[in-house]
Copies of this chain bind each other. A is one copy, B any other.
């Protein structure tokens, strides 16, 4: 059992990659000459929108489930999530023949509810408050004995998410900067640990909506400052840092760059129109940060993690 305050290191991230690499897609890195022209830097987009279940989350959950399965017989896993962690856990557990319970708030995006159902997980609907989610989860665990897999404040999840940066730096050794979006901080933590361990002088930035800027404020105040009523179209970035991700980010991330809602929309339009990629709003936040802080990036080789592609097209396209 790993203690609750220990962070994974590069060794753990490499071990995670060895464990999961046959289960995940090695996603491509794409670029766009028009975006390079516009930003004045060289951008490399790691396409986790093409990852299985449509987001980087599939890396972490597979790493976590394999750890559980290898230690003891597991019948069921559970989580509360309105988003991509739910879908990824549902798909991964079904591949391992493990039952999966997801407590989802009743205002979750339809595309994410549909995905969880399609992957065969059992959904327990609750009110859209953290209290209701935690109560619902507690009840599910008491009734079923399922093992809780936290969406980000978990050693194995963080190690799994770090494998995206590992792949980036295997494919592109000359990268100067990596930017990942930050919500609960699992992806940014894993990214920063991997990147700084592999290349000491690399810069790692987190990109965060101003309307959910708990990571930015937490870094300023040097303690966890959770979001109160966060509001942003980047629905994957509403959560606040946990103890582990706060520590990982404090120790390894150079700066959190915040962006406006308008700049997220603009970045999304660029990615959809210029790159022809469907990326959900949360995944467009790093490009918004580049567009809004150009002087940080001029003439640099910048890797951006396009974290997911589960945009609810039906509701945003007038079909």
A interface with B by C-beta (< 8 Å) = 28, 47, 49-50, 54, 111, 265, 268-269, 272-273, 275-279, 309, 311, 313-314, 316-319
Contacts and interface: CB of A to CB of B under 8 A. Distances in A.
Q: Which of A28, A278, A309, A318 has the most CB of B within 10 A?
A: A278
Contact of A279 (B47, B268, B269, B276): B276
Contact of A318 (B54, B275, B316): B316
A314 B279 contact: no
A309 B271 CA distance: 12
Given A276-B49, A276-B279, A278-B277, A319 B111 contact: no
B28 A276 contact: no
Contact of A54 (B276, B277, B309): B276
A50 B317 contact: no
B269 A273 contact: no
Given A54-B276, A276-B278, A269 B314 contact: yes
B54 A313 contact: no
A292 to B, nearest CB: 17
Contacts of A265: 319
Given A269-B319, A277-B278, 4 more contacts: A47-B276, A54-B276, A269-B313, A276-B309
B276 A50 contact: yes
A312 to B, nearest CB: 9
A272 B313 contact: yes
Contacts of A50: 276
A277 B314 CA distance: 15
A318 B265 CA distance: 10
Contacts of A54: 276
25 contacts: A28-B28, A47-B276, A49-B276, A50-B276, A54-B276, A111-B273, A268-B319, A269-B314, A269-B319, A272-B278, A272-B313, A273-B278, A273-B311, A273-B313, A273-B314, A275-B278, A276-B279, A276-B309, A277-B277, A277-B278, A278-B278, A316-B317, A316-B318, A317-B317, A318-B318
A10 B302 CA distance: 42
A318 B316 CA distance: 6
A60 B214 CA distance: 52
Contacts of A319: 265, 268-269
A313 B28 CA distance: 24
Nearest to A319: B265
Contacts of A279: 276
Nearest to A50: B276
Nearest to A273: B313
A143 to B, nearest CB: 32
Contacts of A268: 319
A94 to B, nearest CB: 14
A35 to B, nearest CB: 14
